[in-house]
Chain A
Amino acid sequence: KQEVTQIPAALSVPEGENLVLNCSFTDSAIYNLQWFRQDPGKGLTSLLLIQSSQREQTSGRLNASLDKSSGRSTLYIAASQPGDSATYLCAVGEFGGTSYGKLTFGQGTILTVHP
């Protein structure tokens, strides 16, 4: 059974700092790995998706890496801004058998960027 863990649970940083969020998963037979953002009282927004054959993806100030063999992914946020404050969720996608694109989520990292 896939388990996803995110560290740290919460992070508070001053504006402008570069930061790293960590995600680990127990079963390396994954389809893809995604990072989502969730604002309070809102739904989830997909930030980056890394296919199982890829090592990293970049979008603007965000960079996500994937090391399938060690069961780890990191989300790097450069030059953080107060608008980046949100909960960041890591999710592992599985496909095969009865999984069919099922996402298993970590518990999230609550990020606060203060001015």
Chain B
Amino acid sequence: DTAVSQTPKYLVTQMGNDKSIKCEQNLGHDTMYWYKQDSKKFLKIMFSYNNKELIINETVPNRFSPKSPDKAHLNLHINSLELGDSAVYFCASRRDRGRQETQYFGPGTRLLVL
């Protein structure tokens, strides 16, 4: 069973379009994250939700809007896509039980904006 899943795996779209990426975790974790990995493979956090509440919001254009309908899901909606949004987007989750808890990552969604 996949612990953290993302859909779609690949997304090719035109500039200016609006798209969504979905993430689901079946681990019963409390906190979920979105990371962006750019063309140089640098991973950077974008958002985090804890029990459906936004707790981390890094400097991300407001074209990006996360939504957490419940604790197991964290979706990412992107408006007016730009060429620079092309990247791999990773979802992750973590259980809030202390310093020993790691984050579990999904397989990534490869977004290409043409």
Contacts and interface: CB of A to CB of B under 8 A. Distances in A.
Contacts, number: 64
A107 B42 contact: yes
Contacts of A99: 56
B41 A103 contact: no
Q: Is the interface of B mostly helix, strand, loop or mixed?
A: strand
A7 B110 CA distance: 27
B104 interface: yes
Interface residues of B, number: 28
A102 B48 contact: yes
A107 to B, nearest CB: 5
A43 B100 contact: no
A37 to B, nearest CB: 11
Contact of B100 (A32, A36, A89, A98): A32
19 contacts: A42-B107, A43-B4, A43-B105, A44-B92, A46-B103, A46-B104, A49-B100, A53-B99, A93-B99, A99-B56, A100-B31, A100-B56, A101-B94, A101-B96, A101-B101, A102-B45, A102-B56, A105-B43, A108-B41
